[in-house]
A and B are shown apart, each in its own frame.
Chain A
């Protein structure tokens, strides 16, 4: 790797970044938190759907389809956002200080998968909590005491 870097310097080859995440080392788990809350809200709304009287309007299945779509999309977004932070931000020295870090990300990914496969607000709630745990560690590595004071207001009513 060192030889390659020397060679590139010698030949005047500069690096151009085909970035797949936020460039310049800017990371923030808040995107994952908002996506996880969206999954929770969609799950709760789906659980509240009552088809016991049958489908009387096409808007009912349309509404359900939209909720499912949002739930799927945002569960995947939770995975994407967390995995970028997991693979690109956290380093071995963080792992030494927070040995449970890998487990947290692993569990968050599994929970995100569960919320995609099922309509399960309990899992979605756990997903939000685990994203908060990861956020606490993330901000602690930057010397910041993490508190999402507007979490409930952002989530709003069902």
Chain B
């Protein structure tokens, strides 16, 4: 049981609100996340906190990793990502408020990685 509890505690349920992660995540989806940080990599969809109000949570995909020099479409300048930061974008890039507007986010804002969708039932399954 002592080993089981930490394993169970890494999982959380989140309800997705908004359309910036379309088509992978839709408004109203319910997903399971893991807080194991060794799971994070480029392409991971993460839940992270607002930089000031930790009660507000956001969902985006990791695009740029710490220390990388990054150039995204629509920008002519390179961004150097700090060792403790990552660059995140919404999949629906035409309609997403993300690192293109507010810059890279701190690693300590990251709460969890989305791994599984439980609702709606017809989209039940792993999320990549």
Complex CA gap A21/B101 in Å reads 10
Complex CA gap A13/B12 in Å reads 8
When the two chains form their complex, are residues A20 and B96 in contact, meaning their CB atoms are under 8 A apart?
yes
When the two chains form their complex, are residues B20 and A16 in contact, meaning their CB atoms are under 8 A apart?
no
- Residues 1-47 (chain A) with a chain B CB within 8 angstroms: 8, 11-24
B21 in the interface (beta carbon within 8 A): yes
Shortest Cβ distance from B122 into chain A, in angstroms? 18
A24 cross-chain contacts in B, Cβ below 8 A: 50, 53, 56
A15 cross-chain contacts in B, Cβ below 8 A: 14-17, 57
Complex CA gap A150/B95 in Å reads 29
Shortest Cβ distance from B48 into chain A, in angstroms? 9
B126 in the interface (beta carbon within 8 A): no
When the two chains form their complex, are residues B14 and A23 in contact, meaning their CB atoms are under 8 A apart?
no
What range describes how many residues of A lie at the interface?
10 to 19
B95 cross-chain contacts in A, Cβ below 8 A: 20, 80
Other-chain residue from A11, A17, A22 in contact with B17 (beta carbon distance below 8 A)? A17
- Residues 63-85 (chain B) with a chain A CB within 8 angstroms: none
Q: A18-B20, A20-B19 are in contact. Are A11 and B13 (CB under 8 A)?
A: yes
A18 cross-chain contacts in B, Cβ below 8 A: 16-21, 25, 27, 58-60, 90, 96
Q: Map CB proximity to A onto B90-128 as digits: 1 under 8 Å, 0 otherwise.
A: 101001110001000000000000000000000000000
B21 cross-chain contacts in A, Cβ below 8 A: 18
Complex CA gap A17/B107 in Å reads 18
When the two chains form their complex, are residues A23 and B58 in contact, meaning their CB atoms are under 8 A apart?
yes
Q: Contact residues of B with A, CB < 8 Å?
A: 12-21, 25, 27, 30, 47, 50, 53, 56-60, 90, 92, 95-97, 101
Q: Contact residues of A with B, CB < 8 Å?
A: 8, 11-24, 80
A-B CB contact pairs (8 Å), 8 listed: A12-B13, A15-B14, A16-B15, A17-B58, A18-B17, A18-B20, A18-B21, A18-B58
Known: A15-B15, A19-B20. 19 other contacts (CB 8 A): A12-B12, A12-B13, A14-B14, A14-B57, A15-B14, A15-B17, A16-B15, A17-B18, A18-B16, A18-B58, A18-B60, A19-B18, A19-B58, A19-B90, A20-B19, A20-B92, A20-B95, A23-B58, A24-B50
